[in-house]
Chains A and B, each alone.
Chain A
Amino acid sequence: MTNFPVEKIRADFPILAELIRNKPLVYLDNAATCQKPQAVIDSIVNLYSHDYANVHRGVHTLSIRSTDKFEGARTKVKDFINAGHEKEIIFVRGATEAINLVAQSYGKANIKAGDEILITAMEHHSNIVPWQMLCEQTGAILKVAPINLQGELIYAEFEKLISDKTRLVSVVHMSNALGTINPVKKIVAAAHAKGIPVLLDGAQAIPHMAVDVQDLDCDFYVFSGHKLYAPSGIGVLYGKQALLEAMPPYQGGGDMIRKVTFEETEYNTLPYKFEAGTPSIADVVGLGAAIDYLNAIGMDKIAAYEAELLAYATEKARQIKGLRIIGEAEHKGAILSFVLDKIHPHDIGTMLDSLGIAIRAGHHCAMPVMDFFQVPATARASFAMYNTKEEIDVLMKGIESLIEVFG
């Protein structure tokens, strides 16, 4: 393995020392949510212990301290994804809320009956349902680009589906059910060639690779904090300033949006126009702390280490008779989705749990993906920077043993 300080990193995550059913925890459900380092936990405790008050409100000392930490975190997010300006960083509850915001704000203002929204067949429900709702409201049509049996987007088909009626392309950067990493830069360029904006769902991609929104040139990029070692309940919508400026607010006037003319001067300045109410202050500060923590390690090093973990796990999994990997894209993040011959994923999940191994069993909020592969569900081991080869060995031994028990 590369010279990656995994033991030092593990020591920073208190939960990794927990015993589950009297066995050391092997946490492989990182695509659902990942664990938090002490630095993130401390940042929240410290805020509430020493610096907490409401932000952007008072002239008193605590309000200023709290605001500084809150806005400091915004700057950290901006730098982390290389956005052009803090104004382009909107704090929301998570990737789901960010997509709903774009659908209901940008979508309602710009998408009409007969227009088309283009997604792919590997989307998470959160990048399907908000658009279905918008289509229901507007009469627009949802188009779905197909995938192949490796779980890759069939790019040629995707390109064909970009039409004169397409008003928005919304694509997952990395699939949560398959691990596939989409050629998003190419997708953005193809859509832009026809003047169509692109939203990238970065919920899975963000903890696994360096993301540069200016290099990608995407119009919107969304992600959740909780998959980035930060608290749950906080997420980010990045949007290009010109687009955000032109968009009506998301909360506090949904019914009026259709009636007002699209004038940015009527609303608050960015990013506050989209941040109605007291924000989740401590969680934002925690997100900033998570970014500091990741920067100290380096996203490129994390990506390289996780690629080694995935290669190791894939090789081991292929040696298990009766195991079928679901999602074998050439470009793939650290997710191993699989099914076992005649053993239901929920039985796999319960059996592995008894060994202290946490995996996900189910449809992964991607039922259309399950339908495509004709499985009711899959078992999914998803890796993070704190996982080890030894843990993968424990997983594989567990799988082999349960196959034996089921006979």
Chain B
Amino acid sequence: MFDDLRDLYQEVIFDHNRNPRNFRVMENADRQVEGFNPLCGDRLTLYLKMDGDRIADASFQGSGCAISTASVSLMTEIVKGKTEQEAEDLFTKFHEMTTGKDENFNLEAVGKLAVLAGVREYPARVKCATLAWHTLDAALKNEQKSISTE
């Protein structure tokens, strides 16, 4: 019935929505930033534990749609062990992928995050996927305590 949506709602996304990874409060986190999408009410708190300039651990709490939950869940998995610069580079690539400006975008560059590529066909949902990454960006830059997509 929802054949048209297969690119957007892949099984991996349902899986992460049902069982989000790293869904916990982190005691003694080095960075803690809240992300908020006022348009849909998605709200998350991202926690990072740093080891020098490397992300030793990442976790989150919050509530949101399947896309935003899967996105933050996948993100916490993939950034663990990465340096700040590596994580920022990944954010840049993820942003390029989800905003869909480059038709020849190489999905291999983002690894398993490629399951979220489908949002580029749904402009209203791009922010659901990028909220997690904007929050991470703020956390890495240690800019502020909360960020908003608006």
A-side residues, CB < 8 A to B, are 21, 343-347, 350-351, 354-355, 361-363, 370, 375-377, 398, 401-402, 405-407
Contacts and interface: CB of A to CB of B under 8 A. Distances in A.
Nearest to B66: A347
Given A354-B2, A407-B18, A345 B9 contact: no
A398 B124 CA distance: 20
Given A344-B64, A350-B125, A407-B18, A370 B41 contact: yes
Interface string B1-20: 11011001100001001100
A402 to B, nearest CB: 7
Nearest to B39: A362
B14 A406 contact: yes
B67 interface: yes
Q: What size tier do the contact residues of chain B reach? A: 20 to 34
A407 B5 contact: no
A376 B4 contact: no
B8 A350 contact: yes
Contacts of B124: 350
Given A362-B40, A363-B41, A346 B125 contact: yes
A376 to B, nearest CB: 3
15 contacts: A343-B66, A344-B63, A344-B64, A344-B65, A346-B67, A346-B128, A350-B122, A350-B125, A355-B1, A362-B41, A376-B63, A376-B64, A401-B1, A402-B2, A407-B18
Nearest to B41: A376
Nearest to B40: A346
Contacts of A362: 39-41
A351 B40 contact: no
B43 interface: yes
Closest 3 CB pairs of A and B: A376-B41, A344-B65, A346-B65
B40 A344 contact: yes
B12 to A, nearest CB: 14
Nearest to A400: B1
Given A361-B40, A376-B40, A21 B65 contact: no
Nearest to A378: B41
B34 interface: no
B130 to A, nearest CB: 14
Contacts of A370: 41
